[in-house]
Structure 1
């Protein structure tokens, strides 16, 4: 009797996971800063658990020019953006640009702010996942003060952070309410 209950429960879990994994997965991060006007949203969508992830960012209040944008290890904002930790790097790679063969999973490169401070980024990637062991759900996302050198700067910080400077806005990647 105990075995059949366990088998039924396992069957129900497999069935539930199969129907969930067949649906589109979505996530969102609301970024803001304690000491500036920088705010925005970063949306993530993945049609299936093995498919590419679409990323759309819309951020306002930035100084004109390029700003590094990265996923960070922790979704902890208890000490502001600094408590998000280092870049999310589950494969133990060096920092790189979004097109580089060797890079951190969440190395998005730069987001370009227009003269009015608005920046939009829209791309798809196979490196981000919204489910599974290496999901980005619950991790931090950070907008940096400076240009990301994409790991090409030739300094120790280039290999770990892209010399992107201070953290000017951040948020936590989570499931949307709808």
Structure 2
């Protein structure tokens, strides 16, 4: 049997309590909300990719990588109101997310919650984008992006035509969802389920 001197065991117990206390303090501060989207091609298309989002204060930071695009071309990129990509053409995702009834437009002007900067594909048909979006949130409010759909379009967004920028057909779609946690199915504080994808 291992003998531990009394004074040593007291130190060990005190250290254990301190560590557990620090662990409790660290875990009581919730991490900023995050989301992930797997973009899959619509019928007859090849566009696919991954988009990660993180809440930072009053804005959402977006990091995207999309392949299978038309080379050296811009593609409209929007949040749509329904988290349903089941239709072959992604029409099931509905229109742009626009809870406040604002006009379609560029990020630096008047625009609605579903407006995002266009994706710019390189010569290999790959677009990598990093940007911030104000006026949207992850997990709360009318402009909550969780459970909505991200859609990539075939054409550039002209940021003028109403209500959606004349960006053409939908070539990829994915549902914005919270990441799956170990031992769970994901979801968020409001108990929203992750809608179906294609």
**Category of TM-score, reference length = shorter chain:** 0.7 to 0.9
**Which residue of the other structure, out of 122, 126, 146, is the alignment partner of 1:118?**
126
Matched-pair contact (CA < 8 Å) for 2:53–2:63:
yes
**Which residue of the other structure, out of 133, 153, 168, is the alignment partner of 1:165?**
168
Q: How does 1:94-133 map to 2 (within 5 A)?
A: 94-100=103-109, 102-133=110-141
Cα distance in structure 1, aligned partners of 2:163 and 2:63: 24
**Which residue of the other structure, out of 49, 55, 78, is the alignment partner of 2:62?**
55
Cα distance in structure 1, aligned partners of 2:139 and 2:29: 9
Please state how far the C-alpha of 1:126 moved relative to its aligned partner. Answer: 2.0
- For 2:46, what is the secondary structure of its paired residue? coil
Cα distance in structure 2, aligned partners of 1:88 and 1:40: 21
Q: How does 1:149-160 map to 2 (within 5 A)?
A: 149-151=158-160, 158-160=161-163
The structure with more radius of gyration = 2
Cα distance in structure 2, aligned partners of 1:20 and 1:114: 44
Matched-pair contact (CA < 8 Å) for 1:42–1:55:
yes
Q: How many residues align?
A: 151
Name the structure where strand makes up a greater proportion of residues. Answer: 1
Cα distance in structure 1, aligned partners of 2:153 and 2:60: 22
Cα distance in structure 2, aligned partners of 1:109 and 1:150: 9
Deviations 1:42-77 (A, max 9, x none): 110014xx4321001100010021000000000012
C-alpha RMSD of matched pairs (Å): 1.7
Cα distance in structure 2, aligned partners of 1:160 and 1:58: 26
Matched-pair contact (CA < 8 Å) for 1:109–1:150:
no
Cα distance in structure 1, aligned partners of 2:35 and 2:86: 21
Give the TM-score taking structure 2 as reference length. 0.72
Structure 1 gap ranges (5+): 1-18, 152-157
Q: Structure 1 segments of 4 or more deviating over 6 A? A: none
User: 1:43 — aligned with what?
Assistant: 52
Matched-pair contact (CA < 8 Å) for 1:96–1:104:
yes
- For 1:31, what is the secondary structure of its paired residue? strand
